[in-house]
Structure 1
Amino acid sequence: MTTPSLQDGINEAGSPVDLLWRPDDAPWTPPVVEPEHAGWRQEQHAWHSAVALSDLSHHMSDTVVEGPDATRLLSEVSANDYRDFAVGRAKQFVPVAPDGNIITDGILLREAEQRYLLSGVPAAQNWVGYHGARGGYDVEFSTDPDSRHRGGGPPRLFRYQVQGPLAGELVAAVFGGPLPPIRFFHTAPVELRGRRFRALRHGMAGQPGFEFFGEWRHGAAVEEALLRAGERFGLVRVGGLAYPTASMDSGWIPSPTPAIYTAPELSGYREHLPLRSYEGVRPLTGSFFSPDIEDHYCTPYELGYGRSISFDHEFIGRDALRAAKDDVRRTKVTLEFDPADVRAVLGDDFVHGYARNRVEVDGALVGVTHQTDSFDPAGTVLSLALVDREHARPGTGVHVAWGEHPGPGTDPDADLGFPRIRATVHPAPYGEHARTRYRLNP
């Protein structure tokens, strides 16, 4: 029996939006890890006031791209600059469709001269694998899915992230002294009691931090060492409810809609992707509804990836992306919800969600939310949104329509009686440390 393709699903549903629109779909949380350890509020405060430990071993898919043509392939399917991409360095991977809109981002680490590790949601990895297999490249792929889709067995790699003002002191205690200086998004080999792995200078919340990753068989010992040393620093383990909310500090919009559902030249790609792939099951939901899937697309410039883009090489979508550079209609912002409206509309139980909700000024649509979280350090709910540039100035007042549009069959602009939540525009990243200093750290 032939496995249905994404294109089969679109054809049967009638349109990409008919396929993907699922009101009231449960928000994503990391698989396997406990939802809470100390309580999600305390866990959020830990990466601001002390030190937090997050287990990132289970929620990302990893694809190794290896071979003589690995660099050429990656260069030809992404907008990144590879000229000075040294071994041991990581970067935000930015692949775009022929129309210049983003496929989705990922984290790309150069492990060796001809070997790369691409991590994140599978959409970018699917894109690279498809073109690598059909373009005559001398390259091999090996993928380890996330723990929800692996089908049993442990991950290939462990990943533990420590971050917060005391992260440096904790790391020094674990390793018997400070690690050698590591620049932001660079890695270095480390060793702990005969176990060798790597340290990535990183921190989702913008605070000082590291990601430690290596062979799964060493993971339990590394975690135990971090927990034991962390006792005197007030270390708090972060669970699956709090971890996604770290995006609010860093200003990272996760999982934009891949721009692959409509272009005629991508019909072969849609026929290649299984219907049950990430691209076929990632839901659309919220008060913002459009029957045109292209209204859900966005460019790398809108997401803040402009400095990752280089036009010094040929790549898919290059001309369209160059044109988009001079016509960036929206910008990324953080919306700070009015606390009284939060209590009246959301109550005390709301934690986290990815609904695409309407952002309005005087009743007119001016933007769309992408992630909304209760954020206890701010004392309210925050939302990452793309907003028309004329309404993106910090301090601007907007309203967020809160509700679930029923989807196809109902007018996108129908008055459905959704409550409006007052909100104020703030920069993204929201955290001052992440916005002004973090990437400048050595």
Structure 2
Amino acid sequence: MSAPSLQDAIDQAGNAVDLIWKPSKVTWKVPVVQPEHVGWAEEQEAWRSGVALSDLSFHMSDTTIVGPDAKRLLSDVSANNIERFEIGQAKQFIPVAEDGNIITDGILLKESEERFVLSGVPASQSWVTYHAQKGGYDVEMATNADSAVRQGGDPWYFRFQIQGRYALDLVEKAFGGPLPETKFFHSQLVELDGRPVRALRHGMAGQAGYEFIGSYADYDAVKDALMGAGEAFGITHVGGMAYFTNGVESGWIPTPTPAVYTAPELEDYRRWQSAFSYEGKKPMHGSFYSPDIEDYYTSPWELGYGRSISFNHDFIGRDALLAAKDAPKRTRVTLEWNEEDVARVFGGDPGYFLSYGRYRIENAHGLAGVTFYSANIAPVGKILSLSLVDEFQAEPGSEVEIVLGEHPGRYAEPDADLGFDRIRATVQPSPYDEYARTKYRVNA
């Protein structure tokens, strides 16, 4: 008997929302990585005022795309300009469905003319793999799942992110001198204690830094070398709790709903995809409930990916994405939660808080947007929500309310008054961090 497909699971549940709506969902935890080392709040502060090492080796899936048709495949299935892509460069990968909505993003690294690595959550990797198989492209593909899914074995790569005020000083000490001048999201192959390492110019929450990538066989040696070099600068090892809050400030929405659940032309894709896939098991929850999964789809324009979109080639969803460029759409913003309301709802200091809940954002006229990613950011003393709001509601300083609660799903009307707590919030720009917003990509 064949394993159930995603389409089988949707049919059995009745619709896609009922399949993945999990109102009691506990926040996902980073596999393998220790939750805290010196405390989540101090670790959040480290990448602002000191220097921090974050271990990214275990929570991402990796797919290699190798062969003479690799560039053509990636160009056909994404809005990225694959022709303008240097060896050693990374890009925010933007695949879209025929309706122009995003499948989900990923980080695409070009290692050579015929070899690419796509990293992140598996949805975009599945999309590329499906089209590679169905389209007869001359490529070889392999995937190493993240450590929460993989059945035994190690990751392919280590990934260590060094960021903060003293990040470049630490790097110079570790490597015995400054690394070659490298533009943002570009990389150089270097050596650390005789071991090959790719140094990717990167950072999160607006802080300077590098991401170091290499064979997992060198995990311990490279990590020890970086931590040892960091002792002179008071390095802080960041745990999984703090690390997964930094995207709120940098403006990266990590969990857009893949736009694959309803389109008739994607039925074959859904029958190819497993019921136990990311698309079949990724839970949704919060106070924003709709029985129509398309109400959760997002456009790359809304997510802030406009500068990475290129129309110089034909690709799946090109016409719809182009048509959406000037159409009314939501705007990405940061919401600052009202401190009095937070204290009232949480009974005082909220402590560590992280949620991917889709919470309703309302104004005097009703629904005005939805949250995607909320976290307590101790150094700024606030809970922030990375959100999408209607364009007219995006003015910084304007006031809204967040409806904080867990809608039971099909057992109540989408707009039912369920007595949820309401928290006042103030609209601010995204990225929230001023450096990330104004100077982050200055040398891109």
TM-score tier (shorter):
over 0.9
Q: Distance in 2 between matches of 1:267 and 1:231?
A: 54
Is 1:126 equivalent to 2:126 in the alignment? yes
Q: Please give the root-mean-square deviation of Cα atoms over the aligned residues, in Å.
A: 0.9
Query: What is aligned with 1:361?
Result: 363
Query: What is aligned with 2:388?
Result: 386
Q: Offset at 1:7?
A: 0.4
Q: Following superposition, which runs of at least 4 residues in structure 1 exceed 6 angstroms of deviation? A: none
Q: Distance in 1 between matches of 2:385 and 2:135?
A: 40
Q: Distance in 2 between matches of 1:321 and 1:84?
A: 20
Summarize the alignment of residues 420-439 of structure 1 with structure 2, pairs less than 5 Å apart.
Answer: 420-439=422-441
Residue type of the alignment partner of 1:121:
V
> Could you report, residue by residue, the CA deviation over 1:282-341 in whole angstroms, capped at 9, with x for unpaired residues?
111000000000000010000000111111111100111111111142010000111111
Is 1:346 equivalent to 2:370 in the alignment? no
Q: Offset at 1:242?
A: 0.6
Count of residue pairs the alignment pairs up: 442
Is 1:32 equivalent to 2:36 in the alignment? no
Query: What is aligned with 2:174?
Result: 174
> Could you report, residue by residue, the CA deviation over 1:32-67 in whole angstroms, capped at 9, with x for unpaired residues?
001111100000000000001000000000000010
Q: Offset at 1:409?
A: 2.6
Q: Are the aligned partners of 1:37 and 1:239 in contact in 2 as well (CA < 8 Å)?
A: yes
Q: Distance in 1 between matches of 2:231 and 2:54?
A: 15
Is 1:405 equivalent to 2:413 in the alignment? no
Q: Offset at 1:363?
A: 5.6
Query: What is aligned with 2:67?
Result: 67
Residue type of the alignment partner of 1:419:
D
Residue type of the alignment partner of 1:222:
V
Q: Distance in 2 between matches of 1:328 and 1:224?
A: 50
Query: What is aligned with 2:238?
Result: 238
Q: Are the aligned partners of 1:301 and 1:328 in contact in 2 as well (CA < 8 Å)?
A: no
Residue type of the alignment partner of 1:137:
Y
> Could you report, residue by residue, the CA deviation over 1:165-197 in whole angstroms, capped at 9, with x for unpaired residues?
100000011011111111000000110121111
Q: Are the aligned partners of 2:34 and 2:239 in contact in 1 as well (CA < 8 Å)?
A: yes
Q: Distance in 2 between matches of 1:152 and 1:328?
A: 47
Q: Are the aligned partners of 2:40 and 2:352 in contact in 1 as well (CA < 8 Å)?
A: no
Q: Offset at 1:218?
A: 1.0
Q: Distance in 2 between matches of 1:249 and 1:50?
A: 17
Q: Offset at 1:349?
A: 3.8
Query: What is aligned with 1:202?
Result: 202
Summarize the alignment of residues 11-410 of structure 1 with structure 2, pairs less than 5 Å apart.
Answer: 11-347=11-347, 348-362=350-364, 364-410=366-412
Give the 3-state SS of the residue equivalent to 1:310 in structure 2: coil
Q: Distance in 1 between matches of 2:404 and 2:188?
A: 45
Using the TM superposition, name which of 141-150 and 117-126 deviates more.
Answer: 141-150
Q: Are the aligned partners of 2:95 and 2:103 in contact in 1 as well (CA < 8 Å)?
A: yes
Q: Offset at 1:439?
A: 0.8
Q: Are the aligned partners of 2:351 and 2:376 in contact in 1 as well (CA < 8 Å)?
A: no
Q: Are the aligned partners of 1:334 and 1:425 in contact in 2 as well (CA < 8 Å)?
A: yes
Residue type of the alignment partner of 1:179:
L
Using the TM superposition, name which of 100-109 and 23-32 deviates more.
Answer: 23-32
Give the 3-state SS of the residue equivalent to 2:294 in structure 1: helix
Residue type of the alignment partner of 1:296:
Y
Q: Offset at 1:113?
A: 0.3
Query: What is aligned with 2:417?
Result: 415
Q: Are the aligned partners of 1:22 and 1:283 in contact in 2 as well (CA < 8 Å)?
A: yes
> Could you report, residue by residue, the CA deviation over 1:201-221 in whole angstroms, capped at 9, with x for unpaired residues?
001221001000101111111
The unaligned stretches of length 5 or more in structure 2 are none
> Could you report, residue by residue, the CA deviation over 1:198-251 in whole angstroms, capped at 9, with x for unpaired residues?
000001221001000101111111100111111121111111111111102211
TM-score of the superposed pair, with normalisation by structure 2: 0.98
Q: Distance in 2 between matches of 1:363 and 1:372?
A: 23
Q: Are the aligned partners of 1:241 and 1:351 in contact in 2 as well (CA < 8 Å)?
A: no
Residue type of the alignment partner of 2:300:
P
Give the 3-state SS of the residue equivalent to 1:158 in structure 2: strand
Q: Distance in 2 between matches of 1:284 and 1:265?
A: 24
Using the TM superposition, name which of 358-367 and 108-117 deviates more.
Answer: 358-367
Q: Distance in 2 between matches of 1:196 and 1:349?
A: 40
Q: Distance in 2 between matches of 1:4 and 1:229?
A: 50
Q: Are the aligned partners of 1:288 and 1:368 in contact in 2 as well (CA < 8 Å)?
A: yes
Q: Are the aligned partners of 2:51 and 2:234 in contact in 1 as well (CA < 8 Å)?
A: yes
Residue type of the alignment partner of 1:100:
G
Q: Are the aligned partners of 2:47 and 2:207 in contact in 1 as well (CA < 8 Å)?
A: yes
Q: Offset at 1:414?
A: 0.5
Query: What is aligned with 1:440?
Result: 442
Using the TM superposition, name which of 247-256 and 50-59 deviates more.
Answer: 247-256
> Could you report, residue by residue, the CA deviation over 1:336-373 in whole angstroms, capped at 9, with x for unpaired residues?
11111111113424420100000011161000000000
Q: Offset at 1:29?
A: 2.3
Q: Distance in 1 between matches of 2:92 and 2:315?
A: 16
Q: Distance in 1 between matches of 2:239 and 2:23?
A: 26
TM-score of the superposed pair, with normalisation by structure 1: 0.99
Kindly, what percent of the aligned residue pairs are identical?
60
Q: Are the aligned partners of 2:386 and 2:430 in contact in 1 as well (CA < 8 Å)?
A: yes
Give the 3-state SS of the residue equivalent to 2:406 in structure 1: coil
> Could you report, residue by residue, the CA deviation over 1:364-388 in whole angstroms, capped at 9, with x for unpaired residues?
1000000000001110100000000
Q: Are the aligned partners of 1:302 and 1:328 in contact in 2 as well (CA < 8 Å)?
A: no
Q: Distance in 2 between matches of 1:83 and 1:7?
A: 35
Give the 3-state SS of the residue equivalent to 1:247 in structure 2: helix
